[in-house]
Amino acid sequence: MVSLDKQSPAARRGSSFAALARLRGYVAFWLKALSQPAIDLTLRTGTRQLTRIVESPGRSLPREQLDMLVAQLRVVAAKTLPAESLSYGVFSGEPERLQRAIITLISDEETGKPIAFNALSAMDLALDGEQVTVTHLGLVMVDPDVRGQGLSWVLYGLTALVLFARDGLRPKWISNVTQVPAVVGMVSDTFSDVYPSPLPGSRQSFAHLQIARGIMTHHRAVFGVGLEAGFDEARFVITDAYTGGSDALKKSFEVAPKHRNEIYNAFCARELDYIRGDDVLQIGRIDLTGARRYLMREVPSGSLPALLATSAVLALQRLVLPLIHWLDDRRAFGTLRPRESRAMRENRNGR
pLDDT value, residue 100: 86
pLDDT value, residue 46: 74
* pLDDT tens digits along 216-248: 999 998 888 888 999 999 999 999 998 766 677
pLDDT value, residue 203: 95
Predicted TM-score of the model (pTM): 0.76
Are the C-beta atoms of 84 and 251 separated by less than 8 Å?
no
pLDDT value, residue 3: 35
Q: Are strands 49-55 and 40-46 parallel, antiparallel or unpaired?
A: antiparallel
- The CA distances from residue 193 to 200, 202, 270, in Å, are 11, 7, 21
Q: How far is CA 172 from the centre of its chain?
A: 11
pLDDT value, residue 270: 97
* pLDDT tens digits along 156-184: 888 888 888 777 778 999 999 999 999 99
pLDDT value, residue 343: 52
What distance in Å separates the CA atoms of residue 179 and residue 334, rounded to the nearest whole number? 33
What distance in Å separates the CA atoms of residue 247 and residue 227, rounded to the nearest whole number? 14
pLDDT value, residue 163: 83
pLDDT value, residue 179: 95
What distance in Å separates the CA atoms of residue 53 and residue 74, rounded to the nearest whole number? 17
pLDDT value, residue 80: 77
pLDDT value, residue 165: 78
Under 8 Å CB-to-CB from 79, ≥6 apart: which residues?
Answer: 143, 144, 145
Low-confidence ranges of the chain (pLDDT < 70): 1-36, 82-89, 92-93, 244-246, 301-351
pLDDT value, residue 4: 38
What distance in Å separates the CA atoms of residue 213 and residue 219, rounded to the nearest whole number? 10
Q: How many Cα neighbours within 13 Å face the side chain of 82?
A: 3
What distance in Å separates the CA atoms of residue 142 and residue 116, rounded to the nearest whole number? 4
